[in-house]
Each structure stands twice: as C-alpha cells, then as structure tokens.
Structure 1
Amino acid sequence: MVSKALKRRSVSKQLPLHLILIVPFVLQIFAIVGLTGYLTISNGYKAVNAVASELRNEISVRINQQILIYLEKPYIVNQTVASAISEGQINLTDIQALERYFWRLANQNTVDFLQVATFEGTNVLIERLPEGFIVARSADKSILPNRKSYRLDNRGQRVELLKIQSFDPRTRPWYKAALQAGQPTWTEIFIASANSSKATIALSELIYSPTGKLLAVQSSNFRLLKIHEFLKSVKVGHTGQTFIIDKAGNLIASSVIKEPYKINDSKLEQIPANKIENSAISLTAQALFKRFGNLSLIKDNQQLDFLLDGKRQFVQVSPIQDGRGIDWLSVVVLPESDFMTQINANTRTTIFLCLAALIIATVLGIYTSQWIARPIMFLSKASESVADGALYQNVEIFRIRELAILALSFNRMTQQLQESFTNLEQINHQLEQRVEERTSELKNTLDNLQRAQTQMIAEKMSSLGQLVAGVAHEINNPVNFIHGNVHHLSNYSQNLLDLIQLYQTEFPNLTSKIQEKIDDIDLEFITEDMLKILSSMKVGTERIREIVKSLRTFSRLDEAEFKQVDIHEGIETTLLILQHRLTANAKHPEIEVIRDYANLPLVECYSGQLNQVFMNILINAIDAIEQVKAERTSKEIQHNCQIRIRTSAINLDWVEIAIADNGSGMPVDVQQRIFEPFFTTKPVGKGTGMGLSISYQIIIDKHNGKLNCFSSLGEGTKFVIQIPVTQELNKKVETAII
C-alpha cells in the first residue's frame, strides 16, 4: 500500500494530459506559422536574388553581344578594303576612286571613320559627321603635306571644298599602332582631331601586295559615343547603371556619363572608374578592386554585391574580348531596392495573416484537447487498476470512434492479459534454452574452424620450408663442386694458351697441317672466347650460390623459437627470390626497388614466417604494377614502375617496415576485406585469397605486431608492418600454444 501511494504521489507531480495536448499543439502551430512566415520572407529574398542574377546575366550578355558587333564591323571593313587593294581592284594612287569606294562602305553605316595612308604620306579619309552628312579628307603627292576636306553628296561626289589644312597621317596613333603590331590591332583611345572632343578607337591593319610588299596602312575608327548611347538605351531596373572599363580600371563608357574622360591640350586622359564623381560607378570599381585585387584575374562572368548608402547593390562583371587587342569588362549595377517594394508589402500581409491563423488555431486547440482528454482520463484510471492487479476492467464505450475502438481493445486486452502472461513465460523459457544450445554449437564450430585453419597454415609453411631447404641442399653440393673447379680450369686454360703462344713465338714456321688445323678451329677466336666463357661460368656459379643461400635463409619456416635476425637480410633475400618478377619482361619494364633503410637492431621473430609476409606483400605489389600496364603508355610505365621499401625504428622498442607501390590502388570496400581469408580480386587461378590473411595472422598473432594498409585509387598502396624488437615471455608462450 505504501509503494502504491508513493507511485500515485510521483504521478501526481507529472503534467496533466490536457496541458500536454494544448501546449505542444500551440507550439506546433506557432512554429508552423513562424516557419511559414520565415520561409515566405526568405523565399522573397531568394526570388529577388534569383531574378537579380538572371537579369544581370541577360543584360551582360546583351551588352557584350552588341559591343562585339560594334567591334566586328571595323574588322570586316578593313578586310574588305585590304582585299580590294591587294587584289588590284583599287589603285592607291587613284584618290577619287578610293573616296567613292570608301563612301559606299561608310554610307552603309558600318563605321564612323574609314582611312588609308601610304608611306609617302598620301591618304584618304571618309568620315560620317554627327550632323548626318559624309566628308572626304584626302591628299595626293601634289598637295603634300596638306590635306583637302570635301563635302560629299548622296552619290559620293565632291560638292563643296570645306578646308585645307596641314596633316601627316604617319604621326597618328592608328598608323603607328599598325606598324608596331604587324597585324590587325586596336589603338589606345584618342581624339580624332585637334578640333574634336569625341573619343575614338581605331582598328589598324597593314596592307600588302600579292608579292608580300607592304603598301599602306588601313584604319577603321569607331566613336565610343555609340557605346554610351547603347548603354543608355539598355533598361537596368528602375535606377540601375551599366558601364565599361578596361583591365587597368579606367572608364571606357557609361550609361549615365556621356564623356567619361578629360581633354588636355588636344590629348585624351582617361579617368579611373574608382575616382569618377558618380558614386555608383566609383564604389562598384572599389568593390571590384577589393574583391579581385587585379582586374586581369577576371576571366569569366562574376557576380557580387556591396552596400551603397546602406542599400544593397547587385553587380555582374563580364569580360569583353575580340581577339584583336580589346580586353574590357562590362559592369551591370542593379539596386536591390528596385525589387523590394512589392516584397516588403507582401511580407507585412504575410505576418498579419500568420498572427490571425495562430490565434484561431490556439483557441481550437484548447477546445479539442479538452474534448479528447476526458475519455482518456477514464482509460487512465482503468489502466492504473490493471497495474494494481485488477485485470478484469470494463470501460465505457466513447462517442469518438478511435477512442471507442481503444476502449473495446482495452476490454479485450484485460481478458486476455492473464493468459498471455502465462504463454509468454513458457515461450521465453523455451527460447532461452534454444539460444544457449545454438550459441554452444556455433562456438564449438568456430573453434574447430580456427584450429583447422591454423593447423593447415602451419603444415603448409613447414612443408614448403622443408621442400625449399631440401632443394637448396641438393643444388648446393654440385654447384660448389663446379664453382670450386672453375678457378682451376681457368688457370689450366690460361697455361695452355700461354704454351701455345710460346710455341708460336719459338717456332714461327709452322707446317701446313698445323696451320690448316689452326685455321680450321679458328685458334685466335678460341683464345679470346675461352677466357670469357670461363669468366661467365664463374659469375653464373656465384649467382646460383647466392640464390641457394637465399632459399636456405627463406626456408626457416619450421623454426619453432624466436631468434634475433636482421630484418634487412630477410627483405633482400625475398627480393632476390623475386628478381625474375622485377626485371623487365613482356608484361612490364623493369620495376625499380627504392630502399630507404634505417639502422635497425636485431629483432626477435620467426624469420621464415616474417619472410613469407614480405613475399606476399611484394607479390601483391608486383601484380598491382602489372595490372596498370593497359592503362598507361610504355613511356609512363618505364618511369613509374616503382616499389619503395622503408624501415625505421620506433622508440627503440618497435621497428616499422613500409612497402609501397605505385599501382592502381584499391577502393575503400576492398581495403576493408583484404585480410579476410579467401578474399581476392585477382582472376581465377592467379590468387587464393590466403596470402594477406596468413600475413595478418603471422604479424598479429605470432609476433604481437600491427599490419595496416593504406591505399587510394590511382595513387598506389602501402602496407605498414610494426613488430616489437623483443617478445615478452607470456607472449612467447601464447604464440607457441597457438
């Protein structure tokens, strides 16, 4: 009774159901309404950003296309004139014919200026004036250094002499620029004439005869006022601006400034955009320099924003390049305020509607929670009775369908609860017995498999060691016999050759039979080749003795005790055995082995088993290098086939051996399984999947060390072995038992 009273007291301190229903409901409504408002406002800003970005991009594309059209016309005109003069269709000495030809091109409204000048100073210029009519300014040899200006009628004929003035085209920027560049090129911005205030840029080109002789310089001028008029016609929101600057930051043209330059003593001086009086242009230029530092770094379209008088400005910068010297930047400045008026109005309406929805939903939530909470309270009391042991409880069927179903289910539950408890206890007991039996069986099976695998590996290693040792022993005796007698045979042969030479010296007059025999056996060749053969035999027997020694060192697989060995000797022995795989063959060029050995102490280990680990890892490295042959050219393979072996000491107690190749590497899923028994990625018949598994057991279980693999696709694989210098006694005993 006391415990029940304490439980009721603790329950009474918890929150009532109607409050739990009301508070989360109201909080959910509040969160949903707030989130809706936030998303509405946020989407509004995102929409502004998206529209501004799209509009900036469209305007920039339009500006760049039109500017390139403006710049392309002078190039087409120059090509037309140069072709006509080079092919002899026009004679440079026929000034009036040149005037009429140029007039036809200018009358098509392609360029503002069209002129040509020879090295003698003769020149012809056709210019369309802002007033609408076309004038011709020309000079032949008879009037040099002066030039006459005529007004032309609508047929290109001279109708009025306007003036005569001194003029030398060879001093003009367009003439000098073409000679200096040697190809079609744009000049710097300049004033067309001393009496003009219009900024001009010219595309100059050298004209050659069919034989390659330089005839004249052709130029088509283009007034920058056209760019200003075009930029002015482009609508950028309500208050936006556009302008053109060069990579040095100087203003070329603007939609709001007609003449963005100064003229001092008939010379044009460009104004940096960041020092212009227009705040939008100057602050935009400052923002560009702050963002990029050097405007030459802008290679493609860039979008950014900055604050102007506390108001956000959207900016897009796009490069303009025609491939003939023009390297400008078009800049579009779009104020955020052009978009935000309607967004702000929608935001206020959204906030008002969200607050109204919140109030209405809160009132409905309170009423609904009370309607639901009453029936649940009855079910709660009945549940408390069941918890107290009174299983047979019947509750009233409510008018709410879900609660009515719940009441019926509760009544059935109380009737079946006792029976269910009994059945559950029986089933639980049976399951526990089955789990214990199956766990015992699985444990026994796993132990048997592990013992069988360990025994199989041990027997295989022992048999292999005995076989290798036996083969090495059988080969060693005859090889030693041959090697020991090669030296004596070499001395005997040398003595015989010396004796033959002495005979030839003492008895130079040989009989015909002896001379015939000497010629028949080619005694001179035998004398030279015999010593070479004996030297080769000596080198071969020494090589066989080294291989036999390596096989005997490698075959220590059946040694049952730890011994102090030189790790480097084991590595070199393994490399010697694998030498046939490292030398160049049809599958790959020579594989370079890079050794980075540190001074290591003697290490207590099973030397034969450790050599087997080196063998398995090196074979995998060679296979990985052979695998990438099809993916690389022979030149790449020749310079990249490498295996790097590095050894180092760690805190005087451990040594580390790292073996890395530059093969194709492994994906992550393969790395996670490489030490599993029978797992292999090699073709059928080339690998069993046991090499790295055995190596892992040798390092981890037999030597209490560490074996890790690090690999990345396309960068190769590295295996890192760490083993202690000395083995503790308890670890020796444990390893021997295993």
Structure 2
Amino acid sequence: MKTHYLSKAKALPLQIVLVVPFLIQIFGAVSLVGYLSFKNGQRAVNDLAEHLMDRTSEVVDEHLKSHLSIPQTLNQMNADAIRRGILDVRDRKTIGKYFWDQIRVYELTYIGIGLTTGEGLGAARYDGKTITIDDWTAKPPDNTYTYATDNQGNRTQVNARWNWENSKESWYTQPITAGKPIWAKIVTGNYPTGPYIAASASRPIYDPQNRLLGMIACDIHLLKLSDFLRSLDVSQSGEVFLLERDGMLVASSGTEKPFAIVNQKVQRLRAIDSPNPMIQNIARHLQTFNGFASINQDTDFKLEVQGKRYFVDVAPWRDKYGLDWLVVVSVPENAFMAQINANTYITIALCFGALVLASVMGVFTSHWIVRPILRLNWASEAMASGNLDQTVETSSIQELNTLSNSFNHMAGQLHESFTALEKSKEELEDRVEERTTELKNALGELQRTQSQVIQSEKMSSLGQLVAGVAHEINNPVNFIHGNLDHVQEYTQDLLALVQLYQEHDSNPTPEIHTAAEDMDLEFLQEDLPKILSSMKVGTDRIRQIVLSLRNFSRMDEAEFKRVDIHEGIDSTLMILQNRLKAKPEQPEIEVITEYGNVPLVECYAGQLNQVFMNILVNAIDALEESNIKRTYQDIEKNPSRIRIRTSVVNSTWLQVAIADNGIGISKDLQQRIFDPFFTTKPVGKGTGMGMSISYQIITEKHGGKLECFSTPGKGTEFIIQIPLRLTNG
C-alpha cells in the first residue's frame, strides 16, 4: 500500500503530460532551426571570409608580380643594349637622356649605372615629380653633379654638387659580388621632399666582349605599395600588409608608415613594433609558428584582438630574383556577422512567441481532453477500492466515448476475470520459477560437460600421440644404446690389434704406409673412442626424454595409480625445457625445485601432469611478457624464476606450490581466472579452457583445492592441495 502511494505521488498530471511535450517539441523545433540557421550562417561567413582573403591575396600577388617585374625587366633591356653595343657607357649625355625617358614613363625613383672605373650616371625622381640627372666622376671630392632638366631631358643647370664613391656603396657591390640579377636590401632615407623606403633591382653589365663594365640598378618607391593596399576593398574593414622573413614591414594598408623617424633618421619598423595593434598582434601570433621563415604555404587562422575576432590569411610571395615576403590579409568577423546576429535575435523572439501561443492552446486542449478522462479515473479508483458497480457518462470525443463504453462493459466482467487472473498468476509464477531453476542447472551442466569433453578428447589424443611417439623412438634408441657398449669393446680390440701390428712390424709395406697416412691413422685412433662416448651420451639423453614423455602421458599405466609426484613434475619440466632455456630474444628462466619428503600419491597421473603443464605454461608466458618490458640491467638484477615446492600437510594432504616472479594478475582477473573460456591472452594464443579444466581436475577428480595468489608487478603463486589417498580409487 505504501508503494502505491509513493508511485501516485511521483505521477504527473495529464494536463502537464499533454502540454509540456507539445511545448518542448515546438520550442525544440524552432530552436533547432534557429541554431542550424546560425551555424549555416557562420559556415557561410567562414567560406565568404576565406574566399575574400584568398581573392585579396591573389590581387596582391598579381600586382606585386606586375609592379616589381618592371625594374628587373628594364635592367635586362638596358644590360642587353649595353652588351650589344647599342648603348655606349662612355656617351654619358645620351645615356642620361635614355634613362630620363625611361623614368618618365615608369613609376620608378631611380635608374642608373655604376662603372668599375668609379664613374657613374643616373636619372632620379626624388620628389615624385621632377626628374634630375646625377653624373659623377671617379675623383672626389665634389665629384658628383646633380643637373636639372627640361622637358626634353636636356641638362639645364647644376642643382647640387657632392661626394660619391661606387666602391663604398652596397647598391654597387652587391650585384657585382652576386654576378646575377638580384634585389638589394630594402633601404630608407630622407629626400628633400620627405622620408622614403625603396627597393633596388640591380645586375652586372658587360661589354660585347663579355668584360665586366659595372652594374645597373632601378629603384622603386615601396610607399606606392601601401597606396595600392589602401585601395583594396578589404582594407576598409580589414588590414593588408607585407613583411619580410625577418619580420620587417614592407607596406601596409593602414595610415601608419612602415618606418619611424628617430633622431631625424629614418628607421624601418618590425611588424611586432608597429603602432597598428592589428599588425602587431598578428605578427606576434605568427612568431609562434617557429618564426616567420617557417611559413611555406597558405595558412588560415582566427585571432582575437581587443575583444574582436578576425579571420587571418598568410601567403608566401617570392620571385626569382630573391624577394621572399609574406602577404597577410585580415578581416574582422563582425563585418559579416551583423546580419546573422540580427536573424538570431529574431529567431529567439519567434521561439518565445511560439512557446506562449502553444502554452495557451495546450492548456485549453488538455482541459477539454482531461475532463472525461478524470471521470474514468474516479470510476477506476472506486473499482480499485472494491466497488465494481461503476458506470461513466459518454463524452463528445469519439475515442473517449468508445473508451467509456468499453469501461462499462469491462466492469461487469472484471470480478470474474480478476479471480481467474490471480489463480493463473500463482500457477505461472510457480512454473516460471521451476523452469528457471531447471534451465540454470542444465546450462551449468552443459558448460561443464562441454569443457570436460574438449579436455578429455584433447588429453586422449595428446596422450596417444605422445605414448606412440615415445614407444616408436624407444625401441631403436634402446637397440643403438645396447649395442654401443659392444661396438666400443670391438673398437678397442681392433685398435689394440692395429697398435700391436705397428709395434712388431716397424717397416710396413709402402701400400700400408700410404693407406695409414690417407686415413690419418693416429687421429682416428685418438678420435674414434671420443665419438663412441659422445654417441652414448646422446642416446642416454634421448632415453631420458622418452621416459619423460611416457611419464607425462602415463598411457602405459593404469589411469588411477600410486605415483611419485616428483616424476610427473620433472617430466613436465623436461618437455618444457626448450621454452625455459635462454634464447637470443629471451633470457633463461631459472627453475628452483624444493621437493619435500612426499610419499607415493594416489591420483590420475596423466590429468595431474596436465595441470602442472597448464600452470607452468602460464608462468612462462607471464615471465616472457614481463621480460619484454624490462631492461638488461633489470633482468640481471632480478632474473626470471619459477619456484616449485612440494610438502605434506597434516600428514594426509599433498601440497604443490608453483610460483613465478612475472607481471602478476589483478584482483578483478583473479576472481575469474577459473571461469570456462576466460583468457587474458590475445586471439590465437589460448582457448581459455586450461585453468578451468585444471580446477575441475583438482576439485572434482581429486577432491582437492586449487588457489591463486597474486600481486601485480611481483608475481603469481598457484597452490594445489589433494589427498594422499583417494577413497574412490
């Protein structure tokens, strides 16, 4: 009765059962749609941001290729013209006009040559508008003249005069040393019109006889790259910048310059020192990639700066003349997420609106459904209390009306059915309990019978095979062993006779002397007795192995017999000798036998030997597994060891303890080790029947005990106890 009331207290009202799942479904469906919409939006944003950054990187790549190829192309054209004799480096006015024409056409800061004689000439546009010509000789001081020019490239007047030496300038020495077209190191400086940052493309020049004349160079103003980066669409909300592999800024889409003025000197900025926090944080994050030089492929990641998340794309850019830069594009996530967040808020509002509407409709619908059900509930409670004379009114709902009619019809027959049900229930419970007990007993008996049949067949086949092999080997070995004594005696007689001949005939015929030397008679007389002794030792060893096999199988004796238990243990060890001795991959397993004064034991010797075999094989497996995880020093310090002790307990019981110092068995596995088909070995290394059969042989066949004691990491010990005499022999 108490349980009935507890169940009633835990039950939920029908209105809640009808309304709450409905509301959960509505809310769950709308929430799932909103969540999927949000996630799809995020995925679309990621794809869009990645596409935008990739597209921006491609645009920057194309611009760099076209913009930075101009200086190298002009250098090659001019160098070819000089090598073919089209341009004469000695005609300084013509070359000056030629460079003046080129710098007017292309957006370059400087075009010039430096000769090995120390002379040189160049056209420059230092202020970005006016083109001047620099002309210098090899003898300072004041060896350089800067000329103003007219609109035809003619020199009009000297604007300045100053010192210049080719050999001391890196722009001259670098291409001469390299011997090929290169980009010199980016330089900064101050023009009269303001600071600048420029890159110089240069290469050596040769005359028609392929003799070195000097070098030619074109300088390009890198602030033009910053202007280009600011013109990109992404630069309005994101950031695009270029940096070298050493982390120095080249150009950026921000208003900040890639250099700073310190003590009226222009100094380049590292990206991590940029006043732009976005560039600074991205550069610091890139340093975590084992430095800027480790980035060799397009890399995308997300970065949080000042509480905002940014998509970042880093792409390497190289040309064949030595430029190796990184193109970095970053786009703020909120530039794409604003509309998605707005849709999310609308989805949440719709969820709450749907929840309120569904709540109102659910309450009304549940009240309409619950009233007739409550009437059925009251009538059911009355019947449960013993009043079976109950009827309920019909309802306007067809299904509930049918239920009411069925209830009224049921009430008339319930008493009779209830009585019959109680009777059937009691009979059924008795039959189920009885049948369950029978099935449990049958299952246990089936498992034991199955394991016994398998073991019996296995042992029978193994015993017959071992006994047959031992018998077949025994006869020829005994024949050989028995005749070895006679062969040894005859050999000694023949050798004595030969020696006697040698003593009495000191001058044998040449034929006998030659035959004695061919057969090495002296060595034969010395080695033949040794060979016969070795053969005798070998036949003794074979006879011992045959005896061990016969003792192990016990096929030539009665199944139940008084035996020396030590012979069975020694025979088992003899059979396992190959696994106990040292191998290249495994150290030797030492076996220590501590045999007590034990009388002959009445037992099933063959089956008892199988128990010894199962336990010893498991011990060897455990030691081999333990040795795999140990070092050579550990094995020398604590060698693998199996200890076997026999003793008599209370003058009526035999006790055999087999212990190893292997890996041990956990407590959980110790409780299951004697279960049928349970094994810890991998597939193919055991059936899981050995210890279960061993347990049955000891407990059922011999009325004894088999116990396992183990400490993980220290070893395992099995203790066998059987009576010295069996009453059911």
Question: Could you tell me the TM-score, scaled by structure 1's length?
Answer: 0.63
Q: In 2, Cα distance between the equivalents of 1:103 and 1:490?
A: 119
Q: Which moved more, 1:449-458 or 1:209-218?
A: 209-218
Q: Deviations over 1:198-227 (max 9, x none)?
A: 322346667899999988767665543243
* Alpha-carbon distance in 1 for matches of 2:127, 2:676: 82
**Deviation at 1:314?**
1.3
Structure 2 counterpart of 1:655, one-letter code? D
Equivalent position of 1:201 in the other structure: 199
- Assess, with a 3 A threshold, how the Cα gap between structure 1 residues 437 and 695 changes in structure 2: closer, same or farther: closer
SS at match of 2:260: strand
Separation in structure 2 between the aligned mates of residue 457 and residue 233 of structure 1, nearest angstrom: 88
Counterpart for residue 58 of structure 2: 65
Structure 2 counterparts to residues 531-546 of structure 1, below 5 A: none
- CA distance, structure 2, for counterparts of residue 36 and residue 613 of structure 1: 66
Tell whether 2:317 aligns with 1:316. Answer: no
- 1:379, 1:395 within 8 Å by CA — same for their partners in 2? yes
**CA 493–429 in structure 1, closer or farther in 2 if over 3 Å, else same:** farther
Change (3 A) 1:232 1:530: farther
C-alpha distance 392-49 of structure 1, shift in aligned 2 (>3 A): same
| Secondary structure class of the residue paired with 1:594 | coil
Tell me how far 1:261 sits from its aligned partner: 0.8
Aligned: 1:376 with 2:373: yes
Among 15, 19, 23, the residue aligned to 1:25: 19
Specify which of 652, 656, 660 is matched with residue 655 of structure 1. 660
339, 342, 355: which one aligns with 1:358: 355
- Compared CA separation, residues 548 and 399, structure 1 to 2 (3 A): farther
> How far does residue 440 in structure 1 lie from its aligned partner after superposition?
5.9
* 2:384 pairs with 1:387: yes
Q: CA deviation at 1:375?
A: 0.5
How big is the shift at 1:312?
1.5
Unmatched segments (≥5 aa) in structure 1: 583-590, 623-644, 660-672, 683-688, 708-719
Q: How many residues align?
A: 652
* Counterpart position of 2:251: 253
Measure how far apart 1:371 and its partner are.
0.9
Equivalent residue, structure 2, for 1:712: none
**1:396 matched to which residue of 2?**
393
Kept after mapping to 1: 8 A contact 2:676/2:689: no
Distance 2:303 2:609 in 1: 69
Q: How far apart are the structure 2 equivalents of 1:158 and 1:485?
A: 128
Identify the residue that residue 668 of structure 1 maps to in structure 2. none
Residue 313 of structure 1 contacts residue 333 of structure 1 at CA under 8 Å; is this kept in 2? no
- Aligned match for 1:271, one of 269, 272, 284: 269
Q: Are the structure 2 counterparts of residues 14 and 197 from structure 1 closer, same or farther at C-alpha, using a change threshold of 3 Å?
A: closer
Encode CA deviations 1:272-291: one digit per residue, 9 max, x unaligned.
334333333334545666x6
User: How is 1:558-637 mapped onto 2 (pairs within 5 angstroms)?
Assistant: 558=553, 574=576, 576=578, 592-595=584-587, 597=589, 611=613
- For the structure 1 residues 681 and 38, does the alpha-carbon distance in structure 2 shift closer, same or farther, using more than 3 Å as the test? closer
Matches of 1:110 and 1:482 in 2, distance apart?
A: 113
**Are positions 1:239 and 2:237 aligned together?**
yes
> Match of 1:375, as an amino acid?
P
Q: Give the structure 1 partner of residue 649 of structure 2.
A: none
What displacement does 1:254 show?
A: 1.5
**Secondary structure class of the residue paired with 1:383:** helix
Give the aligned partner of residue 711 of structure 1.
none
Q: Is the 8 A contact 1:479 1:545 kept in 2?
A: no
Match of 1:463 in 2: 464
Q: Which amino acid aligns with 2:239?
A: Q
Partner in structure 1 of residue 303 of structure 2: 305
Please name the residue that 1:452 is paired with: 453
- Residue 715 of structure 1 is matched in structure 2 by none
- C-alpha spacing 1:380/1:464, structure 2 compared with 1 (3 Å): same
**Larger mean Cα displacement after TM superposition, 692-701 or 538-547:** 538-547
Aligned counterpart, 2:717: 724
**1:305 deviation in Å?**
2.8
The whole-number CA distance in structure 1 between the counterparts of 2:264 and 2:486 is 105
Taking a change above 3 Å as real, the CA distance of residues 654 and 614 of structure 1, as seen in their structure-2 partners, is: closer
Contact 1:174 1:204 in 2 (8 A): yes
Residue 630 of structure 2: aligned partner: none
Q: CA deviation at 1:374?
A: 0.5
Counterpart CA distance in 1 for 2:676 and 2:212 is 75
The residue type paired with residue 463 of structure 1 is Q
Residue 310 of structure 2 aligns to a residue whose secondary structure is strand
- Closer, same or farther in 2 for the Cα pair 1:468/1:376, shift >3 Å? same
User: Per the alignment, do residues 60 and 458 of structure 1 end up closer, same or farther by CA in structure 2, a change over 3 Å counting?
Assistant: same
Q: Name the aligned partner's letter for residue 458 of structure 1.
A: M
C-alpha deviation, 1:147, in angstroms? 7.3
- Could you state the TM-score of these two structures normalised by the residue count of structure 2? 0.64
The question of whether the paired residues in 1 share the 8 Å contact of 2:71 and 2:220 is answered with no
Does residue 557 (structure 1) correspond to residue 552 (structure 2)? The answer is yes
Q: Distance in 2 between matches of 1:538 and 1:88?
A: 102
For 2:208 and 2:574, the matched residues in 1 are separated by 75
Structure-2 residue corresponding to 1:407: 404
Determine the C-alpha separation between the residues in 2 that align with 1:571 and 1:119.
95
**Distance in structure 1 (CA, Å) of the matches to 2:358 and 2:551:** 85
Matches within 5 A, 1:12-411: 17=13, 20-22=14-16, 25=19, 29=23, 33=27, 36=30, 40=34, 46=39, 49-50=42-43, 53-69=46-62, 72=65, 90=84, 94-95=88-89, 131=128, 159-160=154-155, 167-174=164-171, 176-177=173-174, 186-191=183-188, 197-202=195-200, 222-236=220-234, 239-246=237-244, 248-257=246-255, 259-262=257-260, 269-286=267-284, 294-295=291-292, 301-308=299-306, 311-322=307-318, 328-339=325-336, 341-343=338-340, 345-346=342-343, 348-389=345-386, 394-411=391-408
* C-alpha deviation, 1:138, in angstroms: 8.0
| Structure 2: unaligned runs, 5 residues or longer | 555-559, 597-606, 625-637, 644-656, 665-674, 699-705
* Percentage of identical aligned residues: 21
Secondary structure at the counterpart of residue 57 of structure 1: helix
> In the alignment, what sits opposite 1:716?
none
* Residue identity in the other structure for 1:400: I
Counterpart in 1 of 2:653? none
Cα distance in structure 2, aligned partners of 1:339 and 1:367: 44
Quick one: structure 1 residues 283 and 416, their matched pair in 2 at CA, closer, same or farther if it must change by over 3 Å? same
CA distance in 1, matches of 2:95, 2:543: 97
Once the two structures are superposed, residues 237-295 of structure 1 have per-residue CA deviations (whole angstroms, 9 ceiling, x without a partner) of 75332333445544332211352213569975222334333333334545666x66855
1:16 shift after superposition: 7.7
Alpha-carbon separation, structure 1, partners of 2:571 and 2:97? 95
Q: How far apart are 1:301 and its partner, in Å?
A: 1.7
1:456 maps to amino acid? E
SS in structure 1 of the partner of residue 464 of structure 2:
helix
Q: C-alpha separation between the residues in 2 aligned to 1:326 and 1:457?
A: 79
